[in-house]
Structure 1
Amino acid sequence: MRELRCDSEKTMRKEEELVTKRRSMRVLQVVHGMKRAGAEQLVFEMARANCGKMETAILCLDEEGELAERLREEGVKVYFTRRRAGLDWGQARKIAEVIREFGPEVIHCHQYTPFFYGAMGRWLAGQGRILFTEHGRHYPDVVGWKHRMFNWGWLGRQAEAITAVCEFSRGRLIEKEGMPAEKVEVVYNGVDVERFCRGEERGRIRAEMGVGEDAVVMVQVGTFRKVKDQATAIRAFVKVRERFSTARMVFVGDGPELGSCRKLAKELGVDGAINFLGQREDVEAILSGADLMVMTSLSEAHSVSLLEGMSARLAVVATSVGGVPETVEDGKTGVLVKGGDVESVAGGMMELIGDGGKRRRMGQRGYERVLEYFSREKMHGRYWEIYCKLAGWEVEGE
């Protein structure tokens, strides 16, 4: 009887351990930093998702940022390893210490440098399985043969799974980077559609910007960097104003090229019709006050800003680069134009400014497209399935 009782108690303990294990999977997100940008916002939201099933920690290599502080306030562990310039071999030891302390089943590395150091840290710690996600491509997209051989010979083998945010990026990972094709799948970015589709603050935000209801307002959201090419949008806007004198342009974001773009707008005489709003927490309110979204990037993977604009039922004028055609259906949800081409961008803007009915139809189709393919729930659900596969957990419903 005592043996039976002991066996029964052992079985109960094992079942309790299994329940505890299944209640909370540990995932370590390895990133450059947590300032407010597209990839970082996705990591921020993933850290807050599946909170009943998953315990997340963030490891920042280069900087922390405002999103890291917000996660700390919500009880999420945030580690900061202060990577030095150049090849910092000490990072491997620091990351290994974090892995041993936190004990993740999955180590999710975002972008190449976090992947390299995360793989080194995992190798030293001897635990956890790696998912590598590439969120975007460098511009110009040049990969040396040494880099490719290193990926093929060592780095690509360190990840148990690899994801790209669009088919364009998946192709580049395989063809240019030498990553193993059988490991790479596409998980499209997703956004909280409900947050952006309300449109309740249109009047307030237009009053704040000094814009009347008769004006067509174009908005562009993104960091001011050369690759985002806001300068082309400003030059195109000059041509738009020659035909549509009440048109307005709004830029949301900060960055190294903001000063030069302000200067350009003034030199071209359109600074009075452009609002540079800087970094904002209320992007959804600003989108509700706009009539049209613009994106003039020279290179782009799967733009979160575009998804947010489409969720707000805005038609889109966007450059046909990278993964943008996978997001925007030309002639259905927006107009695709040539990157760096002022005439092409201006033509797309004027086509939609001059036809309110077309704008509204495209905006509605874009909203429906995001709901079907690019919702936050779809993205989180697929990543959870990948985490479960890597950790050896069963996925509910399978």
Structure 2
Amino acid sequence: MSLATSRSTTSTQQTTAVDRPPEAPLRVGFVMHVMQVAGAEVLVKQIIERLADKIEPTVFCLDALGELGQQLRDAGVPVVVLDRQPGLDRNVPRRLAAEVRSRGIELLHAHQYTPFFYSALARLLHRAPVKILFTEHGRHYPDIVSPKRRWANRLLLQRYADRTTACCEFSTRALQQIEGFPAAFTLANGVDLEQLPPRGDAATQADLRRRLGLDLDRPYAACIARFHPVKDHATLIRGWYQLHQQLPDARLLLVGDGPQREAIESLVDQLAQSNSPSPTFPDSIEFWGIRSDVADILRAVDLFTLTSVSEAASLTLLEAMASQCPAVVTDVGGNGEHVGDGVEGFLVPRGDHEALAGRFQNLLSDPVKSQAMGEMARARVVKKFDLQQTIAAYYRHYQALAPVEVAQR
């Protein structure tokens, strides 16, 4: 992964110089919504763990602590909850600026727009002596930004983002063209390859399937995603229903939970009793809930699928590819930056269950093709989406934005 060349857009903004010994760790504050188990938050935890000897971290949560926040606190990392109130909470930037001063923080790494917004206000309104790195992850669907916000970003707030990154080209274009951050550039996500080993030989595969309770000779597909409208499980279920007519022995594993789960379970029953009754259809879909052995599941199944109507840079997709699992995903957001159509898997149009079923059949009925695509998928991740490369790139930006120098007072 190449690190795009960028320059600070805040040359007119003065911040206090840093008086820090060269060997001392950088004091970095991470500004988040809540440290829940999700892509951006997992990345922050990984950065903190991997750079333990290079940075002195503090995490600022606008809204709540979250599961990962508690884990970091338990590990001795300061996590400050700012208790943001509904609407524009003017106390948040004031308190954030005070925390920056009292803790001597040199750099704020704000993940997503609202954490950046409050970080920028801490500098703009309260003269917090700190640089800001703004990283965008996912985008709303539909992606609509008011003209007022776009012009505020372009004319004022983007000057307080010393560097602006996004996790994929799709999000970078949104920042540049929709949000008003023309200097944004891509710094791609990565996954931990040490935790995602190759599949191994046939004996290893058989042992893994036995441990998971899977049949040795049955074709399996898996979708690992929360049950939420943006993930569009309904299209997946309709596509699987069509596939079931051709490959009744195939099984679909749905891993995750969420507000749409009951609706999807009802849809499965409705299709089984539809105009073309298929009493065995519900047996072809297994709801596995939230699991801690996702890496094992990905190495055991034959195909990974994700039918989102919108997606940025899906870490689960990258984990599946690293596990030598070919993917059938919707051609939205950053998916096409990860999966080459017909190379590491297949891309299908958003909401097209017939195209989805056709690609399922292509892979699940052709183990040789599936294996070849899976090997290509892992090779692509190893080359372009290694977590070590991602974290090293972020650290280079930290060093560039918070260099060691004696303060001029």
The alignment's TM-score, normalised by the length of structure 2, stands at 0.87
2:371 equivalent to 1:370: no
Identify the structure with bigger relative contact order (alpha carbons < 8 Å, sequence gap 6+).
Answer: 2
Q: Report the Cα offset of residue 137 of structure 1.
A: 1.1
- Specify the alignment match of 1:141 in structure 2: 143
Deviation for aligned residue 1:81: 1.2
The 2-side partners of 1:351 and 1:48 are apart by: 41
How far does the alpha carbon of each residue in 1:53-104 deviate from its partner, in whole angstroms, 9 at most, with x for none? Answer: 1111211112222111111122111111121222212211222232223222
Aligned equivalents of 2:143 and 2:171: distance in 1?
11
Is the CA contact (8 Å cut-off) linking 2:221 and 2:253 kept in structure 1?
A: yes
Question: Which whole-Å CA distance do the structure 2 matches of 1:82 and 1:280 have between them?
Answer: 30
CA distance in 2, matches of 1:19, 1:28: 16
Number of equivalent positions: 376
Indicate the residue corresponding to 1:195 in structure 2: 195
Residue 219 of structure 1 is aligned with which of 219, 222, 225? Answer: 222
Q: Which residue of 2 aligns with 1:331?
A: 342
**Equivalent residue, structure 1, for 2:276:** none
- The equivalent of 2:15 in structure 1 is none
SS in 2 for 1:214: coil
Task: Could you tell me which runs of 5 or more consecutive residues in structure 1 were left unpaired when the two chains were aligned.
Answer: 1-16
Structure 2 equivalent of residue 64 of structure 1: 65
Deviations 1:202-237 (A, max 9, x none): 556644664311111111112222111111111111
Higher mean displacement: 188-197 or 281-290? 281-290
Q: Say which of 159, 162, 174 aligns to 1:160.
A: 162
- Please list the CA deviations of residues 168-204 of structure 1 after superposition, one character each: whole Å capped at 9, or x if unmatched: 21111111111133xx111000000121225488556
What whole-Å deviation, never above 9, does each CA across 1:255-276 have from its counterpart, x for those lacking one?
2222212222232233322222
Match of 2:398 in 1: 387
Alpha carbons 2:22, 2:404 under 8 Å: kept: no
Cα displacement (A) at 1:110: 0.5
Could you report, residue by residue, the CA deviation over 1:281-320 in whole angstroms, capped at 9, with x for unpaired residues?
2211221221110011111111111100001000010111
Decide which structure has greater helix share.
Answer: 1
Kept in 1: contact 2:310–2:332 (CA 8 A): yes
Task: Give 1:230-249 correspondences, 5 Å limit.
Answer: 230-249=233-252
SS in 2 for 1:212: coil
Among the aligned pairs, what percent are the same residue?
40
Deviates more, 1:59-68 or 1:327-336: 59-68
Letter paired with 2:390:
M
In structure 2, relative to structure 1, the CA distance for the partners of 1:262 and 1:21 (3 Å cut) is farther
Task: Judge conservation of contact 1:35–1:65 (CA < 8 Å) in 2.
Answer: yes
**Which of 276, 291, 303 pairs up with 2:287?**
276
Kept after mapping to 2: 8 A contact 1:214/1:246? no
Amino acid at match of 2:143: D
Deviates more, 1:168-177 or 1:93-102: 93-102
State the alpha-carbon separation in 1 of the partners of residues 223 and 66 from structure 2.
Answer: 23
Q: Is the 8 A contact 1:39 1:135 kept in 2?
A: yes
How far the C-alpha of 1:122 sits from its partner, in A, is 3.5
Name the Cα RMSD after superposition: 2.0
Distance (whole Å) between structure 1 residues aligned to residue 87 and residue 220 of structure 2: 44
Equivalent-residue separation in structure 1 for 2:267 and 2:197 (angstroms):
33
Query: Where do 5+ consecutive residues of structure 2 fail to align?
Result: 1-17, 273-280
